[in-house]
Structure 1
């Protein structure tokens, strides 16, 4: 009888300990779920530009590691800023200033620049280097027919489109801006360059075009295409709604050369953007820690 009582006591003890252990696990799971539930879903605006992808992917992974749920919404630049101003979008990693100042001014009550991602992002009119006599926009005057009176550009809605029209008007060029997606613009320029035909198109860094093609930015001395800084833009409520995310984004920065290298891996080597972004994080943990304030 005594042996049976001892055995029963031992079994009860094991069951109690197991129950306590299970409750601890459930408590931990509930706490983790509660922590995630307290954090808002953060939505990135993603323009159809290759330069937008690497920073967005890196920031998304880091924010997910911080416990945030992250979503991405594809849209042209104009609609990205509208979404930011309404609070439908929270973050945009690829704002080009001063070109995008028109949006910052228009929606100044609802959006803000949080950090500079990188400087010295040049943009402007581009021609192949085999066009030795065309080195500035002024050199095009009187030679527009060489280019079939066309200049290839990116999608309607991008602020650069209006700027290009201003250049055409200010330089009094008989040129029509032909708008399409970034990919279609590059494809058209490639077809021309394969035959060494004259072609003008819109170019910018960071982009693989400067690695793939022998091209040059045309000189422009009237202040239309100054060197840009690429900045992180957020909805004004982000600081209050997601203070940890806001602090991380305030510390955000990335070298332009790294962005271009990642674009090449994604576009040329056809690697998954998330894989390329995770590799950058793994290889730059010191920089990531700085952005996280560690």
Structure 2
């Protein structure tokens, strides 16, 4: 009788222990699920104005999906390096084919995930009052009219490197003067205010084309092809954050919308408020991207 009672008690103890273990597992699973919802997505952000609107929109949508979001500012080369190492998850403003060298260099670690807009114009730019300058070839022999200076963005950027290649290919007597986007445009504006000859790096989307009458120069050697602006992610994102990856793979926005938002931000509106306004006005598009 005692033996039977002892066995019954042992079975009861084991049953209770198993139930507790099961409950703990469920609690741990619940905790893990909750942690997954709070996973942090890190965006790389360049100093370019075109990077801000899509980054802010995507950030707000991901936060609404339950993710935490961080932003890391750096030059474009460092951003691609960070993506390849897994330090960053997303870059919303890659310009192809200009940035194709980075995709080739870090192949297997990063990938193009979506196209934001397919036809972004970029290249050497002059004001329209320079009526007789419509191509890069038209600059040959006239470098002294520009004080032998071409104004570009950050040294080491893809645009800066390609501009150096243009100077070499055409044997121009130009020196590329590199500075920040703001510094370059300030110098170009000083020249344009006096209607002096000036050549600098321009691209859309950008408010420079809203503020000034400009034209991007053509060329016969294939420099600065029309760009496809694309979303780049590290290759681990699809597995680590499938919902975030699915949203980003469905991402698209018009170049006109981005340019309009850049204008609002430069006029002093808060970038997140501008992004939220776009989300509120494009509910169907947001639902399509998020799969709702």
Q: Is the pair's TM-score, using the shorter chain for normalization, greater than 0.5?
A: yes
Return the match for 1:290 from 268, 288, 291.
288
C-alpha distance in structure 2 between counterparts of 1:106 and 1:132, whole Å = 41
Quote how far apart the aligned CAs of 1:31 are: 10
Quote how far apart the aligned CAs of 1:133 are: 1.4
Could you tell me which residue of structure 1 aligns to residue 194 of structure 2?
195
Q: Secondary structure at the match of 1:104?
A: helix
Return the match for 2:268 from 267, 270, 277.
270
Could you tell me which residue of structure 1 aligns to residue 58 of structure 2?
59
- Give the paired residue count: 264
- For 1:110-121, list aligned pairs within 5 A: 110-121=109-120
51-60 or 38-47: bigger deviation = 38-47
C-alpha distance in structure 2 between counterparts of 1:32 and 1:258, whole Å = 40
Q: Deviations over 1:155-204 (max 9, x none)?
A: 12311111111111111111111110000000000000011111100000
Could you tell me which residue of structure 2 aligns to residue 256 of structure 1?
255
Could you tell me which residue of structure 1 aligns to residue 131 of structure 2?
132
Q: Deviations over 1:217-262 (max 9, x none)?
A: 1111211111110000001100010000000000000000000000
Q: Please, what is the CA RMSD of the aligned residues? A: 1.4
Could you tell me which residue of structure 1 aligns to residue 70 of structure 2?
71
Q: Secondary structure at the match of 2:163?
A: helix
Quote how far apart the aligned CAs of 1:69 are: 0.4
* Contact 1:36 1:67 (C-alpha < 8 Å) held by counterparts: no
Quote how far apart the aligned CAs of 1:293 are: 1.3
1:85 to 2:84 alignment: yes
Q: Deviations over 1:32-52 (max 9, x none)?
A: 976442242110000000000
Q: Deviations over 1:63-90 (max 9, x none)?
A: 0000000000000100000000011100
C-alpha distance in structure 1 between counterparts of 2:291 and 2:109, whole Å = 26
Query: Structure 1 runs of 4+ off > 2 angstroms?
Result: 30-36
Could you tell me which residue of structure 1 aligns to residue 141 of structure 2?
142
C-alpha distance in structure 1 between counterparts of 2:34 and 2:213, whole Å = 49
- When normalised by structure 2's length, the TM-score is 0.88
C-alpha distance in structure 2 between counterparts of 1:176 and 1:36, whole Å = 56
Return the match for 1:281 from 279, 282, 288.
279
Consecutive unaligned residues in structure 2, runs of 5 or more: 1-27
C-alpha distance in structure 2 between counterparts of 1:52 and 1:230, whole Å = 10
* Contact 1:84 1:90 (C-alpha < 8 Å) held by counterparts: yes
C-alpha distance in structure 1 between counterparts of 2:206 and 2:247, whole Å = 26
Return the match for 1:37 from 30, 35, 57.
35
C-alpha distance in structure 2 between counterparts of 1:183 and 1:105, whole Å = 30
C-alpha distance in structure 2 between counterparts of 1:33 and 1:252, whole Å = 30
Could you tell me which residue of structure 2 aligns to residue 159 of structure 1?
158
Q: Secondary structure at the match of 2:264?
A: helix
Consecutive unaligned residues in structure 1, runs of 5 or more: 1-29
C-alpha distance in structure 1 between counterparts of 2:270 and 2:48, whole Å = 16
* Contact 1:36 1:68 (C-alpha < 8 Å) held by counterparts: no
